[in-house]
């Protein structure tokens, strides 16, 4: 996924504000699933939700106003209730901006862990990164 850095994404120094990377990662995961025919909206409407239970980000180089960032997303591991994503964010010069790992847990409407639906597992497994 690509994202352009706008002024509102930056701090007073023109550098992407660190918390905005969380937004970029969320959007990248949503697009990753959509490319595999999985609608986060439809899952939620049916009572299947994914919540972030752990987030790690290593910032390597500053992204700045005007950059175009490419966010690479892959699933490193799945369990019965968890999806472990790995992300790399690079700028238009292919400089590594950040590396991130996100752990999602599948839950029901009461936010209790539940098994990831088989259909989701199949779509993730059937489509290469």
Q: How far is 17 from 103, CA to CA, in rounded Å?
A: 22
Which CATH number does the domain housing residue 121 bear? 3.10.129.10
Distance separating alpha carbons of residues 89 and 96, to the nearest angstrom: 6
Q: Summarize pLDDT for 26-52 with one digit per residue, the tens.
A: 999 999 999 999 999 999 999 999 999
Q: Domain limits at 108?
A: 2-126
Catalytic residue among 9, 11, 67, 108: 11
Predicted pLDDT of residue 46? 94
Told to judge if 9 belongs to the known catalytic residues of this protein, a careful annotator would answer no
Pick from 87, 29, 93, 22: nearest CA to 61: 93
For the chain, how many structural domains are there in total? 1
pLDDT band at 94 (very low <50, low <70, confident <90, very high): very high
Residue 128 has pLDDT above 70, yes or no: no
Per-residue pLDDT, 126 = 62
With 0.85 as the threshold, say if the pTM is over it. Answer: yes
């Amino acid at each position: 996924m690509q994202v352009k850095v706008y002024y509102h994404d930056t701090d007073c120094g023109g550098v992407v504000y660190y918390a905005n990377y969380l937004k970029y990662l969320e959007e990248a995961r949503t697009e990753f699933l959509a490319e595999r025919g999985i609608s986060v909206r439809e899952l939620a409407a049916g009572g299947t939700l994914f919540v972030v239970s752990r987030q790690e980000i290593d910032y390597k180089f500053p992204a700045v106003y005007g950059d175009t960032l490419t966010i690479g997303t892959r699933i490193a591991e799945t369990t019965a209730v968890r999806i472990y994503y790995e992300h790399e964010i690079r700028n238009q010069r292919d400089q590594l901006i950040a590396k991130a790992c996100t752990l999602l847990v599948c839950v029901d409407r009461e936010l209790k862990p539940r098994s990831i639906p088989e259909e989701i597992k199949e779509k993730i497994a059937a489509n290469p990164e």
